[in-house]
Amino acid sequence: MAPRPTSDGLVLVIGSGTPIADPDRGGPATAVPYAERTVLFDAGANVLRGLVAAGRDPTGVEHVFLTHLHSDHVLGLDEMIFGAWTVGRDRPLRVHGPPGTRTLVERLEAAFAEDRAMRVEGLERASPEGARVEVQEIEPLDEVQIDEGLRVRAFPVAHGAFEHAFGYRVEVGDRVVVISGDTAPSDAVVEACDGCDVLVHEVYSAAGWRAGPEGWRAYHAAFHTSGEQLGRLAVRARPRRLVLTHVLFFGQPPDAVLAEVRAGFDGDVILAEDGGSY
């Protein structure tokens, strides 16, 4: 039987933050839970704590998909590799991501080699299988069939100078979640949203952006999506629910960012919070 998403929601936002430290928001991480397992998209700082706070067992995460290799999206990958293993994972962790993912994982493994050896060979007798990481470097439009009825497809997005930056379309049974990753407005997101139930999309405040210096504005315009732009994009993508995450407020209140999006899109729009189920 195909797995079904949990009844509380299709998407669980583990970390809704940005590179800017926020006491209320962990680093970027979004989960699609099903049964007792969890598929994780990005692994920002404090992801292990975020999973536990959201009521998900970290040992139930068998697959991690990385959208790109900006540090804020991978600072918690070591937590998923070693922390979840330390508390009982006994199966390999599968990490899927763009070219460069294998090198990242290998260097983390080298950094923690002594820790691993002591836990496997010492008094803890931790599972050697649980310490293993299987890496799949993927390309745009690659599909990963995780389980019957659970499929993930990568698609390219426009994240400034990054050659390899992905969004993901996740199909769980007859339900569809699209995760934008970090991106400027992208036709690929619109195409991936065909029939989608939930679109999880990054955003920044257009009003706050206009107040910034010229070079700073140029950077964000090339790498990210403003609230005004996202409202227009959502009209084309037509998600049943739009969830805003990785929000760069630039000094603006949350309601102002929501208003920017809603000025162009009259559908269901929610500003994500850590632990929120949507």
pLDDT digits (tens, 9 = 90+) for 76-135: 999 999 999 999 999 999 999 999 999 999 999 999 999 999 999 988 889 999 999 999
Instruction: State yes or no: pLDDT of 197 exceeds 70.
Output: yes
**pLDDT (average), residues 70-76:** 98
Looking at residue 26, what DSSP letter applies?
A: P
- What angle, 0 to 180 degrees and rounded to 10, lies between the N-to-C axes of helices 227-237 and 254-264? 40
> Which tens digit of pLDDT belongs to each residue from 161-189?
999 999 999 999 999 999 999 999 999 99
Q: What is the pLDDT of residue 8?
A: 57
Q: In the predicted model, is pLDDT for residue 2 greater than 60?
A: no
Residues in contact with 114: Cβ distance below 8 Å, sequence separation at least 6, in sequence order: none
Most confident of 4-8, 125-129, 251-255: 251-255
- The pLDDT, as a whole number, for residue 5 is 43
Helices (H) and strands (E) in the chain, counts: 10, 13
Go through 4-41 and write b for each residue having 16 or more CB atoms within 10 A of its CB, e for each that does not.
ebbeebbbbbbbbbbbeeeeebbbbbbbbbbeebbbbb
pLDDT number for residue 6: 45
Q: Angle, nearest 10°, between helix axes 113-121 and 101-111? A: 60
- Going from N- to C-terminal start, the domains of the chain cover 12-271
pLDDT number for residue 16:
98
Q: What percent of the chain is predicted at pLDDT more than 90?
A: 93
Q: Average pLDDT in the 12-38 region?
A: 95
pLDDT at 194 over 80: yes
User: Which residues are registered as beta bridge partners of 245?
Assistant: 202
CATH architecture of 12-271: 4-Layer Sandwich (3.60)
Average per-residue pLDDT for the chain? 95
Angle made by CA atoms 270, 96, 150, in degrees to the nearest 5: 65
Average pLDDT over residues 141-159: 95
Residue 91: closest CA among 41, 36, 37, 131: 131
What is the pTM assigned to this prediction? 0.96
Q: Indicate if the pLDDT at residue 228 is higher than 80.
A: yes
Determine the pLDDT at residue 192. 98
Does pLDDT of 36 surpass 90?
no
Cα angle, residue 260 at apex, residues 217 and 170 outer, rounded to 5°: 90
